[in-house]
Amino acid sequence: MTADHTHAATADDAAAEIKAHEYAHTHPTWKTYRWVALILTLITVGEVWVYYVPAITNSPYFVPLLLVLSAAKFAIVVLFYMHLKYDSKVFRALFTGPLVVAITVVISLLFLFGQLAIRLHGS
Amino acid sequence: MTAHRSRRRRAAVLTAVVSLAAAACSHQAPNSIFNAHSDFGQVLDGLTNRLLFLAAIVFVLVEGLLLFVIWRYRARPGNTEAKQLHGNTRLEIAWTLVPAILLALIAVPTVRTIFRTEAPAPANSLRVEVIGHQWWWEFRYPDLGVVTANELYLPVGRTAAFDLKTQDVLHSFWIPQLAGGKRDLITNHTNHLWFTPESTFVWNGFCAEYCGASHANMRFRVFTVSPAQFDQWVAHQKSGPVTVAAATPPAGGASAPAPAAQPAPDTATGTFPVADLPGYIVPNTPLPPGAEVPVTQGDAQRGAQLFRTNACIACHTIQGVSPGVVGPNLTHVGSRTTIGAGLYPNDMRHLEAWIKHSEALKPGSKMPPMGKGLPGAMGQLDDQQIADIAAYLSSLK
Amino acid sequence: MATAIPAGSHPAAQHHYSSTGLDNIKIAIWAFIGSECFFFGSLISTYLVYKGRSVVGPFPHTAWTNPATGQTLHAILNIPVTSVSTFVLLMSSLAMVLAHGAVVRGDRKYSRIWLLATALLGATFLGFQCYEFTSFVHEGLTIKTNLFGSSFFILTGFHGAHVTAGVIWLLTLFFVDMKRGLQPRDAVNVDICALYWHFVDVVWIAIFTLVYLIK
Amino acid sequence: MATTVAVPSHAEAHEAAPGGIWGWLTTVDHKRIGQLYLYSALFLFLVGGVEALLIRIQLWHPNGTFVTAQTYNELFTMHGTTMIFMVIMPLSAAFFNYLIPLQIGARDVAFPRLNAFSYWVFIMGALFMNAGWFIHAAPDGGWFGYAPLTTRPFSPTLHIDFWVIGLQILGVSSLAAAFNFLTTIINMRAPGMHFMRMPIFTWMAFITQFLLALAFPIITVAVTFLMLDRFFGTQFYEIAAGADPLLWQHLFWLFGHPEVYILILPAFGLVSEVLPIFSRKPLFGYPVMVYSGILIAFLGYGVWAHHMFAVGMGPIADSIFGITTMLIAIPTGVKIFNWLGTMWGGTLRFSTACLFAIGLVALFTIGGLSGVMHSSPPSDLAQTDSYFIVAHFHYVLFGGSMMGLFAGLYFFYPKITGRLMSETLGKWHFWLTFIGMNLTFFPMHFAGLEGMPRRIYRYDANQGWDIWNNLSTWGAFILAVSVIIFVVNFLWSRRRGAIAGNDPWGGATLEWTIPSPPPDYNFATIPTVTSRYPLWDARSPRLTSDVPHTAAGEQAVEVDVAGKHVGDTRFPADTERNAPSVPLTAAQLGIHMPSPTIKPFTTALGLTVMFIGLIHHKSLPIMFLGVAIFLVSLYSWVLSPVEPEH
Ligand code: HEA
Ligand code: HEA
Ligand code: CUA
Ligand SMILES: [Cu+2]
């Protein structure tokens, strides 16, 4: 389906070059990407490490901690690699809106099936 | 000309509403959800009435306003140019707030009712397990050791607490005139419903969740009886099958005389003679063409023997005779008013037809036709043998 | 493939006005990604709803002894292996942004290298998944075994299918690049592939935590 | 305004496009695709309607024997499924296709070939699902296919397979179309048409696309589980494995409730177009109409479990879902009152379109009010799964969606065909529909309150239900007559209807500035929009002077794109180029239109064959054949340009 679209007015060669130029300004650079990759790796290592520390897995903070860590990874990829941070707010709306509703729905379902309530009592 | 139209339309609408309302009042509604005969039903009633009342008010206001607008602002000489109003914030806020207030008026009693009706049942309630099957009902009284099918007995004045389960697909347990509301029977779940019957009588029950081919044929009856009659019924159910010949005198002691204009239960069994029941309780389902079995006389003794030696025992329990649990318990089948889950009256004619080709009487029925040579038939029974078995079953009071 | 992906330099493009100055295809891919949130949201919900509800083992995080045979099946998830494959997928995202950057710069050499690298990393992830699935099957967990088996395989399987589609897409871009070279004006075609690819990565981030790590 | 311009013959307008069946198979023109949707959906409406008639004949009298239990179950399942997925949705899609580009001043949708693909997938899915009838395997699990009844142990035969696979195919179509229209509306609005100047139908369509894009993935997942259970032995709904039937219910209704707003919002949009025109007034409270639409859609995601009040979710869940459901009455009420406000002070002309629009206001309100009655969980225990529910949803679906779509059809028919529909037949159609509809569905309220369960193929006498069923069946016959009149009108007017001209109704928005039917490129010059009601501005600026977002109401907006002033002619200068007496072809004007192609069709075919192959383990080779067709077509599609090379 990649080709099945009509291009925007700016999409002739010259414009594309201008765009590429702008891109360098508005998009993160190789340096940023390296940092992002490093942070993602560290968080992943952290997550797995936590998994093997009984003191943490047995504590009530285990699940929230993991959720926070993965949410951080999620956000970093979306903001930097998917350059949502730098891009049009149209994209932000198209993604964040559904994401928030979807997450709310998942959480409500867990409550409805008693999976969340159990966890809260169990801890 | 348009004026003419809207006037005609109003007249039409009015006539329709009035005639429908009149029809609604003048005819019998034996399964109405209103005026239910239990505490639970009355709570629901109050709420539903409130909702109906509010809906009626909004209906009259909105439709009245609509009729006024189309009459008043129709294009006509003297109304040729529209006023170009494009909005009015204050009005729009008003018609946001007013519905919000009306909704609050129903939301508050709604939540109150939810918490009231979904509270746990009182401790001393009569426990009844309702088990849905495609397409019949099994009723168990675990504390009393009674198992029966398609006909439920409840004492008035005592809370009945139902544990609703299903053996196969989803069903829904609904006795409109008794409970008003229904609860679904959900696989791998146990659902709860409880209410206290307030009048002695007999009621229709339905399966209200689509459950396959014979969903329409999954009905039941509920008999609410006095506590004494209930005890009598329980005692009888717990006893083994009582084979009652045509004119056996009543066995039990004297029971309380039944109130006038109400069907009186048989004193021996605590069950009800069909002839006494109101018309909407006795099924009128016609037999499918060709289902009739020509033999009308059967020998119960021979029937008992045939029952034992045929496939019947694989599925049906008769206390002391057979252990099958796939189909309804038949220990006291002769004392029931209906067969086939409330589908046909319980008499020789219908029993015979049922045994011969149950599938034709009740589409999808899990009981194979027992008649000889019928397509898909399991049994090898000829008409006389079928009559014998029917006679035997009828005798199981 | 002779015509290859038409570039935005079409003369006709001038006739097309856009309200936002954005590329149509990019709007569409973001809408698609929004929609995918619900797709994976439903799959993840199902997995979590059925967590701990299987009647028979094997189970993800605990051992299970079959009462009939007395045989014990140990906890099935292999965290070390999956941690590695998770890392591989993360790195493929890095390769992806580098590929996109190269295309934007018009750097033919690196665009090819990074496109291929991304696809290979994706394929490596798939290899890990194949290994994981086969070893689970050997240990007695299939889609038919229990609720965990069904919901686990279908959730991760659908993710794997997305990765597969992504690898094919990346390889297609790679071949187009080999054939006629991706120009800066093709950047949007790489960009949407990248968005898709990162989204698939992001889904894995959620799955890794919710399925593998949380006990 | 040049309203008397002669209608060009169709052939002239489509000179460039290939004719005949091949022309239809390869078309990528949103207007032709819109018409394909329209004809298909109307045909399927007759199918679904005949199913309804058979249902009504069976229920005419107690213990009916007209059809068997099995056939009846197939009838109501297919009636519901057809009406929802193959009638109302594609009818709405017909309007999306035809109108959105015209209303926003675009030459086509964002992805014309994807658009053709959506249609072909839809029609193949619809044909496939109905094919079940011909081999005695029509779906029979009810339109919401509750598990475990629909799982293999309880439905071993092909019936449910047709349903499951058919729904999957239809889902693909809706999703593809949703991404397409979202992009189109976001990105292809004419210069100057910012969101608050967008025609209200396009707005409602826009909201609907969000609902489609975000609700269909859920049903796709739910149905995929069922499909995998049935074909590959997974355990999602397998009761022996401890599965929870509520999983299906939650997933289905998570889709199902947004779905009902997918069904109603387009109709709301159409009515909001029709009422202002025939009141000669701008829409009352346009911004509030927009916001209420958004709010309805948003709240629509938080109410799904109101279909499950009888399953025993517990008091907290029941309370929450009850209250969120009630809340939806507020934005919907705002719409009703704003329509009344639109008519208030107007000069109402009761054309057929207007009558149907008023019909929606009158009848949807009734359905909405019974909906609010269901929203109270304890009371719903008495109502649910009874004919009271059947009454509710026919008032909102027939009285709401169908009435609105009919209004839109009478209103836009001249734009589509160049000819007006007969008003005489139209009025007959309306009044018979209005009477028939109330006679059919109002008695169902009583039947339900008197305890009649739904989905029963027979009921006993003496239950007090005879009279209501009798009335309903007579009502259905009246509806049948009205439908036949409509069909006659539709066909007759195509050849004999009065010539419409560009703007037969005194419209306000862009679609009325171009010929009827429009040339394939729609707009010779893309207009620059400075107003919410551009045509009215031009015609009688005095009247719209205090309406915000009109030319007189605020400063006109200059639009430049990429340094170039777009649109040489400010709208609505009436040059020969924009409204010529004989429209020029795209080639004459130097406009490049997407070239026709068969690839969307073959891709859709491949996809459909792929799904069909699933139906039996012996047919798996067919599935691989489908995969092959799909991939080959997709690749050759994706790698070829939209427009001809120059
Ligand atoms: C077009 C489709 C459509 C629409 C728009 C609606 C709109 C609504 N529906 Fe309906 N519904 C269906 C289609 C639709 N529904 C279908 C198909 C089913 C059955 C599915 C099945 O089981 O097969 C169903 C079933 C259904 C149920 C489940 C019943 C059951 O099975 O037990 C419920 C329960 O709450 C419900 C509620 C509502 C409500 C509150 C609205 C609201 O949106 C209505 C809001 C509108 C108004 C209220 C009227 C206008 C407002 C005013 C004039 C303001 C003043 C009003 C007040 C203050 C009250 N609907
Ligand atoms: C938009 C949706 C829609 C529409 C328009 C309709 C229209 C109608 N519906 Fe339907 N209905 C549903 C959606 C809809 N329905 C749904 C979702 C269900 C639930 C299904 C389920 O439970 O699973 C349902 C269920 C349902 C039932 C309940 C079945 C049951 O529970 O047992 C009934 C019963 O009367 C019914 C009747 C009707 C009637 C009489 C019409 C009439 O309005 C139909 C009018 C149309 C005609 C009468 C057609 C006329 C055509 C001709 C005369 C042919 C002419 C031929 C040529 C010219 C070639 N419908
Ligand atoms: Cu049991 Cu319907
Ligand atoms: Cu709903």
* DSSP letters for B155-217: ETTS-EEEEEEESSS-EEEE-TTTTSSEEEE-TT--EEEEE-B-S-EEEEEEE-S--STTGGG
Return the ligand 1 atom nearest residue D307 CA. 28
pLDDT at D110: 93
Residue D31 is encoded by which pair of tokens?
């207007």
| Count of Cβ atoms closer than 10 Å to residue C143 Cβ | 21
pLDDT at B75: 83
Beta strands in D244-382 (DSSP E): none
Catalytic residue status for D617: no
Residues B302/B388, Cβ–Cβ less than 8 Å = yes
- To test the pocket of ligand 2, the residue of D394, D439, D470 to mutate (highest count of ligand atoms within 8 Å of its CB) is D394
Reduce the DSSP state of residue B10 to 3 states and report it: helix
Look at ligand 2, atom 50, and give the residue with the nearest C-alpha.
D480
Which pLDDT tens digit goes with each residue over D449-485?
A: 999 999 999 999 989 999 999 999 999 999 999 999 9
Task: Kindly tell me the burial class for residue D157, based on how many C-beta atoms sit within 10 Å of its own C-beta (0-12, 13-18, 19 or more).
Answer: exposed
Q: Could you tell me which residues are beta bridge partners of residue B205?
A: B220
In chain C, residues 146-165 whose CB comes closer than 8 Å to chain D: 146-147, 149-151, 153-154
Closest in A6, A101, A109 to D214, CB measured = A101
C190 CB-near residues (< 8 Å, 6+ apart)? C99, C100, C103, C111, C115, C173, C182
Q: Do C35 and D566 touch (CB under 8 A)?
A: no
Rounded to whole angstroms, the Cα distance separating A11 from B390 reads 86
Asked if the C-beta of D399 comes within 8 angstroms of chain B's C-beta atoms, the answer is: no
Min distance A14 CA to chain D CA atoms (Å): 12
From the list D108, D229, D380, D423, the catalytic residue is D108
What amino acid is encoded at D600 in this protein?
P
Closest in B33, B111, B187 to D148, CB measured = B187
Which pLDDT tens digit goes with each residue over C27-43?
A: 999 999 999 999 999 99
Instruction: Categorize the per-residue pLDDT at D209 as very low, low, confident or very high, splitting at 50, 70 and 90.
Output: very high
- Output b/e per residue, B348-358; b: 16+ Cβ within 10 A: bebbbbbbbbb
Question: Which of D194, D301, D318, D321 to substitute to test the interface with A, most A CBs within 10 Å?
Answer: D301
Residues D239/B188, Cβ–Cβ less than 8 Å = yes
Reduce the DSSP state of residue C113 to 3 states and report it: helix
Return the ligand 2 atom nearest residue D487 CA. 58
DSSP label at residue B276: G
Instruction: Categorize the per-residue pLDDT at A118 as very low, low, confident or very high, splitting at 50, 70 and 90.
Output: very low
Catalytic residue status for D379: no
pLDDT at D49: 97
Does the pLDDT at position D503 exceed 80? yes
pLDDT at D200: 96
Asked if the C-beta of C53 comes within 8 angstroms of chain D's C-beta atoms, the answer is: yes
pLDDT at A9: 37
The region of weakest confidence among B103-112, B271-280, C74-83, D293-302 is B271-280
Do D and C count as touching (3 or more CB pairs closer than 8 A)? yes
Instruction: Categorize the per-residue pLDDT at D250 as very low, low, confident or very high, splitting at 50, 70 and 90.
Output: very high
Does the pLDDT at position D502 exceed 50? yes
Min distance B264 CA to chain D CA atoms (Å): 21
Q: Is B218 in the pocket of ligand 3 (CB under 6 A)?
A: yes
Residue C110 is encoded by which pair of tokens?
């690196």
Min distance D56 CA to chain A CA atoms (Å): 38
Closest in C28, C43, C143 to D111, CB measured = C28
Catalytic residue status for D259: yes
Residues of A in contact with D639 (CB under 8 A): 3
Query: Can you give the three-state secondary structure of D556-576, one letter per residue?
Result: CCCCEECCEECCCCECCCCCC
Min distance C174 CA to chain D CA atoms (Å): 14
Asked if the C-beta of C84 comes within 8 angstroms of chain D's C-beta atoms, the answer is: no
What's the mean pLDDT in C44-58?
A: 92
| Pairwise pLDDT comparison (C114 vs B13), residue with the higher score | C114
Task: Kindly tell me the burial class for residue D221, based on how many C-beta atoms sit within 10 Å of its own C-beta (0-12, 13-18, 19 or more).
Answer: buried
Which pLDDT tens digit goes with each residue over C179-196?
A: 888 888 888 899 999 999
Q: Distance, CA B339 to ligand 3 centroid (Å)?
A: 16
Does the pLDDT at position D507 exceed 90? no
The average confidence (pLDDT) of chain B is 84
From the list D197, D230, D307, D374, the catalytic residue is D307
Kind and range of the H or E element at B223?
strand B219-225
> With pLDDT > 70 as the criterion, what percentage of chain D qualifies?
89
Which pLDDT tens digit goes with each residue over D308-359?
A: 999 999 999 999 999 999 999 999 999 999 999 999 988 899 999 999 999 9
D542 CB-near residues (< 8 Å, 6+ apart)? none
Catalytic residue status for D257: yes
Residues of C in contact with A10 (CB under 8 A): 21
Instruction: Categorize the per-residue pLDDT at D177 as very low, low, confident or very high, splitting at 50, 70 and 90.
Output: very high
Rounded to whole angstroms, the Cα distance separating C95 from C87 reads 12
Q: What is the pTM of this model?
A: 0.91
ipTM: 0.90
Residue D258 is encoded by which pair of tokens?
């947004």
Quick one: which ligand is closest to B134's CA?
3
> With pLDDT > 90 as the criterion, what percentage of chain D qualifies?
74
Q: Do A77 and C183 touch (CB under 8 A)?
A: no
What's the mean pLDDT in D416-431?
A: 95
Return the ligand 2 atom nearest residue D72 CA. 32
pLDDT at D447: 95
The average confidence (pLDDT) of chain D is 88
By CA distance, what is D160's nearest residue in B?
B212
Min distance D220 CA to chain A CA atoms (Å): 15
Which pLDDT tens digit goes with each residue over D360-382?
A: 999 999 999 999 999 999 999 99
Which pLDDT tens digit goes with each residue over B60-91?
A: 999 999 999 999 988 887 777 767 777 778 88
Residue B258 is encoded by which pair of tokens?
């039944």
Question: Chains meeting B at 3+ CB pairs closer than 8 A?
Answer: D
Catalytic residue status for D428: no
Instruction: Categorize the per-residue pLDDT at A121 as very low, low, confident or very high, splitting at 50, 70 and 90.
Output: very low
What amino acid is encoded at D333 in this protein?
G
DSSP label at residue D398: I
Residues of D in contact with B99 (CB under 8 A): 329-330, 333
pLDDT at C107: 85
The DSSP annotation for D184-206 comes to HHHH-PPTT--GGGS-HHHHHHH
Does the pLDDT at position D583 exceed 90? no
Residue D134 is encoded by which pair of tokens?
């011909």
Rounded to whole angstroms, the Cα distance separating D80 from C142 reads 36
Closest CA to D463 of D445, D453, D450, D473: D450
Task: Read off φ and ψ for residue B81, nearest 5 degrees.
Answer: -125, 125
By CA distance, what is B110's nearest residue in D?
D376
Do B and A count as touching (3 or more CB pairs closer than 8 A)? no
